[in-house]
Amino acid sequence: MKKIISLLAVITLAGSAFGVYAEDSKETPHSNINQDQIDGRVNETKGAVKEFTGKVLDDKGMEIEGNIEKNVGKAQAGFGDLKKDVKDLKEGK
């Protein structure tokens, strides 16, 4: 029962994080956020949830898969951040 409650708490928090991130993105209509940044952070969060779920359910395969997805998302978000920084430099920001 404790595992199910923990899992539901993580899913709720992850959903809230997506909502906050999406809401922040809407505030600036012509923001410099690129698709790699968005996709990377979404994949990073999904991977973290999957990794935690694997730990809670004692499923090593799911835990490893989540860890990989989390790290790939981190790399993708970092690439998006780099692209944004280069674009900002070119624009003189």
Domain total for the chain? 1
Per-residue pLDDT tens over the stretch 9-60: 667 766 666 565 555 555 555 567 899 999 999 999 999 999 999 999 999 9
Range of the domain at 87: 2-91
Per-residue pLDDT tens over the stretch 71-92: 999 999 999 999 999 998 998 8
- C-alpha distances in Å from residue 80, one per residue of 15, 54, 56, 84: 22, 28, 31, 6
Q: Which of 14, 80, 85, 1 is nearest to 47 (CA)?
A: 14
Say which residue the tokens 């070119």 belong to: 90
Put simply, whether the predicted model's pTM sits higher than 0.75 gets the answer no
pLDDT of residue 52: 96
Q: Looking at this protein, which amino acid is placed at residue 31?
A: S
Distance CA 52, CA 31 (A): 32
